[in-house]
Chains A and B, each alone.
Chain A
């Protein structure tokens, strides 16, 4: 399985728009964009490759998102919603699980569909602060989407980071997203260990069977000079935090992303307010230490 989304010429990186460039545009009006490719990850997750389009119909300024940042994707006439975005060299990748009306409609669209895109929003992961450290990635289900943006960054800047270890789980083999990365691309990266588990095994699956928290305990990753990046369903997070604590990870070194309903993306509309923070602006990336300072209302 080769990465079907990676059709950029890595030797010729395109210029990228800075956050400031995007801010100059009215932040509530989407830029016109086109879905150039749709990848079916699982029965209910699709990855949409999106490129902005200018007046002439040609790709406009690339829409660059940092690891962990968000993009507001809108389908005209249906609605818009905030998603975690992954930067690819000449386009944006947004992996979407079918959960509501908008996402159901998004799953119906074809390649070539015009969509709106605005952002990027949010703080993203502090990749500078993580330099020189080992990184432990933990993901569950569609939670691998935000994690993947960090993994890709670390792989692209391999020399800046220590050992990489991904622990990922989903309900079944069929529910694993980004299989081409999990089984083809990432295992080939030097000093990158990829550990995958499924809740329920089947004939297709030769690997580990069990829940993520138990799998982590079994793998026993070292907290030594290590930052842990954690995204997944709330129940998985809850049990995983207990395991990480037991393993000796400090709250400062466990980093996660929060999910809240968002409308404006720029810290105005109030919806994603938790305490004195707005998840769309001050988050979605928070360390566990930061979360402990916020009201438990997410």
Chain B
């Protein structure tokens, strides 16, 4: 396959950064996340990022339109959802799978969310095969192949001293040919390094079906006792996509309507104007989170809404681990 030596990585990134906004895994103010490549950027291809790359396609906060209101008159001015061409470089298979989940939500079922759709259309996704799974990784159990992902535009492989690159789509071919034109690629006959062993062991076989009989199971009480109902898990998750639409006022007369991340973990998330809350306590909210990922989403879109990236496991303040939930659900007894 075509390949570039690892010491040419900077040259590769410099080349790609000329074509588009290039998102790379990097350390930013002490936190690893995908960030636009530029001078001084500390690129980190060796491990999963703390923040998932979803923020490139689905930012934490984005303007959807501006409004003004003077007396009885008002105006709504849409904001262009385009951010120009983007390349997401060094995604893991789990990240790529997360984007497929977002695609299901934002691009299917009758309506398209223009803000996501535009960015997705403009993005070229470059995945990197995993060699050393992190301590919290379990993608294999979620049906994801850590070595490569078929849905990416271009796939990178770790060949030891070089990265192999294979284009899978027209966008990927354009990217590879740009690197070729820059004289950065040569032919390599080395095989990709194999993926190492996983620390976390879990089997999710049949989880969706099992959960169909567990809505009222006492297990949710037990999980909710230690949950803080914070949003850490949802906000760093590559698949969590819930959002709010709210106002950011500039002054009394005008402001911006924003689309911003939200999560079913928050008490006011489903609270209605009259005061009724369909998910009034931690128990219902914890249940919603896991049911949504492991049962409702598969029922609706035909795939698990967890990619085994392990981010929520790494950062949960109380170690409410989805792998543990899966395990306990599988072991749970169901009455009747």
Contact = CB atoms under 8 A, between A and B. Distances in A.
Contact between chain A and chain B defined by CB under 8 Å:
yes
A247 interface: no
Interface string A13-31: 0000000000100111111
Interface stretch (B18-26, B38-46, B110-118, B164-172): B110-118
B76 A30 contact: yes
Interface in A256-298: 259-261, 263-264, 266-276, 281, 295-298
A95 interface: no
B163 interface: no
Nearest to A267: B109
A26 B300 CA distance: 24
A77 B243 contact: no
B278 interface: yes
B299 interface: yes
A267 B242 CA distance: 10
A247 to B, nearest CB: 28
A32 interface: yes
Given A28-B113, A81-B273, A269 B245 contact: yes
Contacts of A270: 241-243, 262, 264, 292
B299 A276 contact: yes
Interface string B257-270: 00100101000011
Nearest to B259: A28
A19 to B, nearest CB: 9
Nearest to A111: B72
Interface in B224-283: 241-247, 249, 252-255, 259, 262, 264, 269-274, 276, 278-279
Contacts of A271: 242, 262, 269-270
Contact of A77 (B245, B254, B270, B276): B254
B110 A267 contact: yes
B275 to A, nearest CB: 8
Given A269-B245, A270-B264, A273-B292, A259 B114 contact: no
17 contacts: A23-B111, A29-B64, A29-B65, A32-B74, A32-B76, A76-B76, A77-B249, A79-B246, A99-B273, A100-B273, A114-B69, A115-B74, A116-B76, A259-B272, A260-B272, A261-B269, A276-B296
